[in-house]
Homo-oligomer: A and B are copies of this chain.
Amino acid sequence: MEANENLAFDALSDRIRRRILNVLGEEGELSVGEIVAHIDAVGRTTVSSHLRVLRTSGVVIERKSGRNRYYSLDREGTARDAFTYLQSLLHAGLDAVETSTPRASDAEPEDRGRGAG
């Protein structure tokens, strides 16, 4: 089967998106405005666009609160699939490498359609 690393690698392939993930990994959970404040070289619209990709590909989680939307890493999401994929790819036939997998996923990416029509 085609696992979800596809989505993750696609999301991870962009530099700005990795930067966003780094920020979220350090800060934990941030509103869009806060993320924009951390990311320079691109505007708010672009960050919003990237957040959409990260969200629809199952890498981050969105939480609404008032006027804000807070984003955080989805450590159980597709990024983990990418991690697992790389693990099996790199460690195939080699010594074991312990890799925990605390499972508790209930979040699933939303629709990926980009304005169909």
Interface residues of A (CB under 8 A from B): 2, 4-7, 9-10, 12-13, 15, 18, 21-22, 25, 58, 73, 75, 78-84, 86-92, 94, 96-114, 116
Copies in the complex: 2
Q: Which of B5, B103, B109, B111 contacts A100 (CB 8 A)?
A: B103
CB-nearest residue of chain B relative to A85?
Answer: B18
Given A82-B86, A113-B113, A116-B113, A10 and B7 contact (CB-CB distance below 8 Å): no
Minimum distance in angstroms from A2 CB to a CB of chain B: 7
CA gap between A94 and B76 in the complex, in Å: 12
Q: Which residues of B contact A4 (CB under 8 A)?
A: 105, 108-110
